[in-house]
Amino acid sequence: MAQSCQTRQDTNSNIHWLKPGQVEAMRDAAYEGRHGARDDAIVTLLYDTGLRRGELSQVDRAMLDLDECELRIPAAIQKDYPNENSPSVATFELDQSGELRTVRTLRAYLSNRDDTSAALFPSRKSDRMSGKGINDVVKRLAERGNIEPYGYSGRGSAGDVSAHTLRHSVAWRMLRSEDENSLYDVRNRLRHATILTTERKYDHFETI
C-alpha cells in the first residue's frame, strides 16, 4: 500500500497545468506566426475539449456542427480503439463556460480555408497534421509566449508544455476556475474509463 501511495504521489507531482490567462497568452502568440488562425484553433479546441493530440489529428471538418456548438467524434478516432472496452461516440458541447470563444475561433479559421481536405487540420506534406505536428504547434506557442506552467514541484519552463498539458489544464479550469463542476464532470469531459482514473490524476486540484 505504501508503494502504491508513493507511486500516486510521484505521478501527481509530474503533472503540469496552465491557468486561463496563460492559455490566452498562447492564443495571442499564435498570430505572431504564419498560421495564426490555425494555431489559435488548435490550442482553443484542445483546451476546450481535452482531446488528445492523436485524436485531434483525426478530426474531420464534418464532425463539427458549429450551428449547434458541438463536436461529435466517433469511437474509431478515440484512444485505445478498438478493444474490448472501446469508447463510445462522444459529443462535446463547445465553450460550455461561454468564455473561450471556441465557435468564433473555428469559424474564423475555416473561413480562411481554400482547400478541399476533409481534415480539420490538414498538412501541406500529407492529408492531415500528425499528433506530433499538433504537439509541435503547442510547444512553439508556449516558447513564443514564455509560458511557465504550474506544478507541484514549482513552476516549470516553456519546454515542459505539451498538448497533454492543455488536457490537464482542462481539469484545473473546470475544478478551480468554473463553478459547480465535480470530478465526475471532469471524468466525462476527458472520457476517462473510470472515475478512479480522474481521482488519481486530479483530486489534488480540489482545495482542502
Q: What is the CATH number of the domain that holds 155?
A: 1.10.443.10
Q: Is the predicted pLDDT of residue 83 greater than 90, yes or no? A: no
CA dihedral 125, 129, 135, 141 (to 10 degrees): 80
Phi/psi at 72 (nearest 5 deg)?
Answer: -115, 125
* Count: domains in the chain: 1
**Mean pLDDT on 85-90:** 78
C-alpha to C-alpha distance for 141 and 39, rounded to whole angstroms: 8
pLDDT of residue 196: 93
Each residue of 126-179: pLDDT tens digit? 899 999 999 999 999 999 999 999 998 899 999 999 999 999 999 999 999 998
pLDDT of residue 5: 47
Whether omega before 82 lies within 30 degrees of 0, making that bond cis, reads yes
pLDDT of residue 86: 66
- Percent with pLDDT over 90 in the chain: 79
Q: Is the predicted pLDDT of residue 10 greater than 60, yes or no? A: no
pLDDT of residue 87: 73
pLDDT of residue 8: 45
State the residue range of the domain holding 100.
Answer: 2-205
Q: Is the predicted pLDDT of residue 4 greater than 50, yes or no? A: no
**Mean pLDDT on 28-33:** 97
> What is residue 202's three-state secondary structure?
helix
Radius of gyration of the chain (CA): 17
**Mean pLDDT on 15-36:** 97
C-alpha to C-alpha distance for 204 and 202, rounded to whole angstroms: 5
Q: Comparing C-alpha atoms, which of 141, 140, 161, 142 is closest to residue 17? A: 161
DSSP 154: B
